[in-house]
Structure 1
Amino acid sequence: MNQSYSGHASPWRLFVPKMYTVLREGYRLGDLKSDVLAGLTVAIVALPLSMALAIASGATPQQGLFTAIVGGFMISFFGGSRFQIGGPTGAFVVVVFNVIHQYGYGGLAQATVIAGIILIIFGLARLGAYIKYIPYPVVTGFTSGIAVIIFSSQVKDLLGLRLADVPAEFIAKWDAFYHAAATAQAAPIAISAGCLALIVATRRYAPKLPAFLIAVIAGALAVWVWGLNVETIGSKFGALPQTLPTPSWPTFTFARVRELLPTAFTIAFLAGIESLLSAVVADGMTGRRHRSNCELVAQGMANIGSVLFGGIPATGAIARTATNIRSGGRTPVAGVAHALFILLFVLFLSPLASYIPLASLAAVLVVVAWNMSEFEHFKSLMKSPAGDRVVLITTFLLTVLVDLTVAIGVGVVLAAILFVHRMALAVEVETKTKLLAEDVDDLSAPRLAPYQGPPDLPETIEVYQINGPFFFGAATLLSDVLDRLRHPPRVMIVRMGNVPMIDASGAAALTAFIDKCRKQNTIVLLSNLKTQPRRLIEKMCAKDIERGDVRLAENYADARAQALAYVADGK
């Protein structure tokens, strides 16, 4: 019996994995071929990254591989996204390193299990929509801070410094590097510089090739051919095991749970944020839609499963997920295949990893740190209002100099205070717009009605109106507009007369919307802009305005006239 979709559909439907969805729709041989090839491509990318990120986190390379296998398998198999690839990521490096340094791996395993339980509770409580609305300056601030810390953690291996113990604190770490500068060695410097140059060159001139794997193999060959005296995975960690370890459940005490609870919340928060950001990126690249709460439950299960097999925290990896999509991955089977390919490496080829020099992996992580630095976004946010800049810089500095947990907490509180202040100054605007978009399941015909444009305009012109302050809580609503249209319009009129203010997250969402329209050959007309939104948009969207991708209109009548003229000219 068919059941039409309603807001009262069975709640369990929202937690049905996308794997079931694709099998229910019909899985063909062509799909399997595309998914297996994509999974192999992603595995080639993930292999050196998993080991490098684990080493940077203070763990062992095999623990990174176990995380990619177990965590990656469970995230794809149970998750709410068709394309998500999971495993160890740079966001966890700081937290994992600090926990292992303070409590050992046993403490990390306990904190990760608690974090997994928290994520499952968050998902079952349907908090996924709320986690996605963390202010943009906070996300950029701590991501950039993590990038600085990752780079700092690799200086010893990049230069081959002779340091018995590298301090965990940022300032103390660089002080130790300064005093040990005289111990730098030529061979590690040559290996790291050569690998870094090879990665950059490969990405520029042959972007389809696996730059990280090529650099790591080249570094190992250089050490073997010339007999260079550099530290390798084998010399530091010994031979890698060729089997998965036996599952082991951590031992808990009430005192240890209470002690690790703040760290567990940080792990859960980072896993939730990064996995949902990755899923949103995948949606934007494919036009599909993930289920955030199902994804949180899968992330929780994957983190618990990862540490049971001796791994570290796992989450959705944006770069690997994008690689999966670009490589032709169609369903979660690609993520499962990626995990199985890494498992085959562990079973049959792991002895080869002993020859990989740590300087090569350090070069890989330098590139990861640069990609995470959000330099362009950081620079763009420095043009935003003073309040957003304060949130950005405070979060960044606290991440680098103090602690990630403190940075996130302070950043979110500052953003909330800033928002309340802006709302006190803003004019009162009545809005009927629902700010939190609820998940929709795949089993109850969740099709949205096509967006209907105004009857007095041709089909090539669409109109969308924003009501109320366009802040970080409402920013994601704009990205759904084009998804509801049968065909991309020639002109999109966005009426903003009822928008008293717009913050950096709103501007970032608007910029992403404009970029999406530009790729579909749609120009954007913004009408009725008030003073504060106009100033911010003119500053942050200057290039789009200069190219003509965005046009400003004094009122709706002006926007309508410009749109009709543009369509009539046939541009």
Structure 2
Amino acid sequence: MSAAQTSRPDRATGTARARMARFLPSRRDYGLLRSAWKTDLFAGITVGIVALPLALAFGVSSGVGAEAGLITAVVAGLVAAVMGGSNVQVSGPTGAMVVVLAPVVAAHGVGSIALVSVLAGLIVMILGVSGLGRAVAFIPWPVVEGFTLGIAAIIFLQQVPLATGTEATPGHNTFLAAVESASQATVPAVLQTLAVVAGVAAVMYLLPKLSKALPASLIAVLLATVAAEVLALDIPRIGALPHSLPAPSMPSLDPGALGGLLMPAVSIATLAAIESLLSARVASGMAGPDGRPSGAYSPDRELTGQGLASIAAGFFGGMPATGAIARTAVNVRSGAKTRLAAMVHALVLLAIIYLAAGLVGRIPLAALAGILMVTATRMVSRHTVTAILRSTRADAAVFVITAFITVAFDLIVAIQIGFAAAAVFTLRTFASLSGVRREAVPEPTLPGDEHIAIFRLDGAMFFGAAERVLQEIGQVKDIQVAIIRLSQLRMLDATGAHALVEVISALELRGVTVLLKGVQPQHLELVTNVGVIRSLRHHKHLFTSLPDAVQHARSHVLRNAAASA
């Protein structure tokens, strides 16, 4: 075997190792640890305190339970911190995931969530390994914001049963379930729960005005719990929580139920990938206390890390996890620079499980409802909504459609319809900017120039504009030579090239000689393969300069005049 043949497997092995290394932890992840460990430690403790009530609330709201929410924040938060693609991303249960999980719990039971978490995690990992992490950059802004508005509305409506002390009807539309729960509320229970919700909301809105350093959500929960205990309020509580982390185990696999869980797993994986990547992208440009951005991130590694996090959470009886923008923002603003902060956040929650599970179990569910209601209102920026609605009609329509579909039907369907609507409006805009213009024959004018027509194609010649261009050129009459200028054509696809073939063929059948001018180098192969050049009467009817094309056109007119004399 030659040296060259021997080196090929070595190069292939080296390439495979390099690709694999992109998804694995490295020293670069902790390059700033020596100088930033104290700040990271403080940031991690801060995020852990903020994450506690959110983890409990999201667990309860999804129907899986507060225990699952807390376990997910610990296990998934730790795994994603080590394996994810961002140095500052904090992962755990999120509001968007709650919206998807609640119908799954209603349809398949709480026991199905661990298996769904593992399945969704595997799908997210596949997305990361296959290099689809950067696809999130192609999601239009109005779709993302409409999606966010819809999620915020659903999260708010999901809290109505807890806020009124009633039971939600499984499987119902969120809005209808909220209305039904509110109608079933009874006095004095509803007054007590609403008072707790109002108190939590007041603390969360007013306390940051006094000091932004104080964890408003945690203080609100503590005050609500103390008030409920002192006043002996008869309202639902979280209930008993485990005093330790459960041992990992493989989720029970029921082949009969697997088919019914596959599509929910795909939806959850899609949502987890989108939310995690959007959160990481926002965090990468977010400035910390020193005014510096948190730095770049790896989209593909972020997906593999989040996939592993959901798988690990499923093994411990948790729920699917994603990158959480609220906790990530707190992490960045607290000065986090490395992954140590996210790890500390998970360890703080783990310590609470072991040391304060009994106290946490006394928290009123209405307090968690209040936290999520405030969180939902903060998810939507009034300035952002105003900016989109004032932008263009197309973008405003995409925003409204996405938000409505999210609330009325399904999250993934909303993204699909929103993306499709944005694509349709964008193509319509491209088509309106594209067209054909007839130009005058350059001076000095000569006899016979009235039989020459010069057409300039502008913008994009693609499937959305080709038919209109074909009709406009085909309507021209009383000409002997048509010069079609392609030098201003920015985009050309196969449909557009085929339309050119049809235009040339139709004109040639009418006895009109067609000359092409200015075929751009990037379009030459396409027009050749589709048959544009072959449809010309002569291969020399292809020109690079307009004067040459006009001179050739005039020679045709003179020849026709001589022949008819």
TM-score, normalised on structure 1?
0.69
Secondary structure at 2:107 match in 1: helix
**Shift in alpha-carbon separation, 1:407–1:421, aligned structure 2, 3 A:** same
Distance 2:314 2:84 in 1: 18
Q: Distance in 1 between matches of 2:332 and 2:131?
A: 27
- C-alpha displacement at 1:419, in angstroms? 2.5
Alpha-carbon displacement from aligned partner over 1:394-423 (angstroms, at most 9, x marks no partner): 211111111222212222222222223223
In structure 2, relative to structure 1, the CA distance for the partners of 1:191 and 1:207 (3 Å cut) is: same
In the alignment, the residues of structure 2 paired with residue 255 and residue 185 of structure 1 have an alpha-carbon distance, to the nearest angstrom, of: 42
**Inter-CA distance 182–308: structure 2 relative to 1 (3 Å threshold):** same
Question: How has the CA–CA distance of structure 1 residues 258 and 417 changed in structure 2, closer, same or farther, with 3 Å as cutoff?
Answer: farther
Aligned to 2:272: 271
| Aligned match of 1:488 | none
Kept in 1: contact 2:91–2:324 (CA 8 A): yes
* Equivalences, count: 421
Q: How does 1:242-281 map to 2 (within 5 A)?
A: 242-252=243-253, 256-281=257-282
Give the corresponding residue for 2:242. 241
Contact 2:402/2:418, CA 8 A, preserved across alignment: yes
SS of equivalent to 1:355: coil
Say if 2:381 is the partner of 1:377.
Answer: no
Partner of 2:163: 158
User: What letter is aligned with 2:18?
Assistant: S
Provide the residue aligned with 1:512 in structure 2. none
How far apart, in 2, do the equivalents of 1:230 and 1:255 lie? 39
Structure 2: stretches of 5+ with no match in the other structure = 1-14, 287-292, 436-458, 461-487, 492-565
Verify the 8 A CA contact 2:161 2:182 in the aligned structure 1: no
What is the aligned partner in structure 1 of residue 357 from structure 2?
350
Inter-partner Cα distance in structure 1 for 2:489 and 2:233: 67
Q: 1:94 to 1:26 in 2, by over 3 A?
A: closer
**SS state at 2:361 partner:** helix
Q: Distance in 1 between matches of 2:318 and 2:381?
A: 28
The residue number in structure 1 matching 2:215 is 210
What is the CA–CA distance in structure 2 between the aligned matches of 1:288 and 1:32, rounded to whole Å? Answer: 17
Secondary structure (helix, strand or coil) at the match of 2:22 reads helix
Q: Which residue of 2 aligns with 1:400?
A: 407
1:59 is the counterpart of 2:64: yes
2:184 aligned residue (176, 180, 186): 180
Answer whether contact 2:121 2:309 (CA < 8 A) is retained.
yes
Q: Does 2:339 align with 1:338?
A: no
Q: Which residue of 1 aligns with 2:149?
A: 144
| Aligned counterpart, 2:297 | 290
Q: 2: distance between equivalents of 1:408 and 1:295?
A: 21
- 1:358-373 map, 5 Å: 358-373=365-380
| Alignment of structure 1 residues 190-229 onto 2, 5 Å | 190-229=195-234
Deviation at 1:164, TM superposition (A): 6.9
Matching of residue 169 in structure 1 with residue 193 in structure 2: no
SS at match of 1:216: helix
Task: Tell me how large the CA RMSD over aligned residues is.
Answer: 2.6
- Alpha-carbon deviation of 1:63? 0.6
The verdict on how the C-alpha distance between 1:163 and 1:278 changes in structure 2, with shifts beyond 3 A counting, is closer
Contact 1:191 1:360 in 2 (8 A): yes
CA-to-aligned-CA distance 1:163-207 (integer Å, 9 cap, x gap):
474663134214413532454532222221111111111122211
Query: Which residue of 1 is the match for residue 506 of structure 2?
Result: none
Instruction: Return closer, same or farther for 1:498/1:303 CA change in 2, 3 Å cut-off.
Output: farther
Provide the C-alpha distance between the structure 2 equivalents of 1:26 and 1:187, rounded to a whole number of angstroms: 49
TM-fit CA distance, 1:92: 0.7
Please give the alpha-carbon distance, in whole angstroms, between the structure 1 residues aligned to 2:263 and 2:237: 35
Aligned to 1:557: none
Distance 1:12 1:117 in 2: 17
Q: Could you tell me how far apart the structure 1 residues matched to 2:344 and 2:183 are? A: 47
Mark the CA change 1:331 to 1:110 in structure 2 (over 3 Å): closer, same or farther: same
Residue 88 in 1 paired to residue 93 in 2? yes
Preserved CA contact (<8 Å) 1:144 1:375? no
Measure how far apart 1:26 and its partner are: 6.5
Identify the match of residue 16 of structure 1 among 12, 20, 24. 24
- The worse-fitting range, judged by mean Cα deviation, of 165-174 and 7-16 is 7-16
Structure number with greater Rg is 2
| 8 Å Cα contact 1:38-1:324 kept in structure 2 | yes
What is the SS of the residue equivalent to 1:36?
A: helix
Q: State the identity %.
A: 40
Shift of 1:499: 11
Return the alpha-carbon distance in structure 2 between the equivalents of residues 26 and 177 of structure 1: 51
CA contact (8 A) 1:132 1:273 kept: no
Query: 1:261 is aligned with what amino acid?
Result: L
1:77–1:163 Cα change, 3 Å: closer
Q: Using a 3 Å threshold, how does the CA distance of structure 1 residues 289 and 163 change in structure 2: closer, same or farther?
A: closer
Q: 1:105 and 2:115 equivalent?
A: no
Equivalent residue for 1:545? none
CA distance in 1, matches of 2:162, 2:341: 34
Contact 1:192/1:359 (8 A) holds in 2? yes
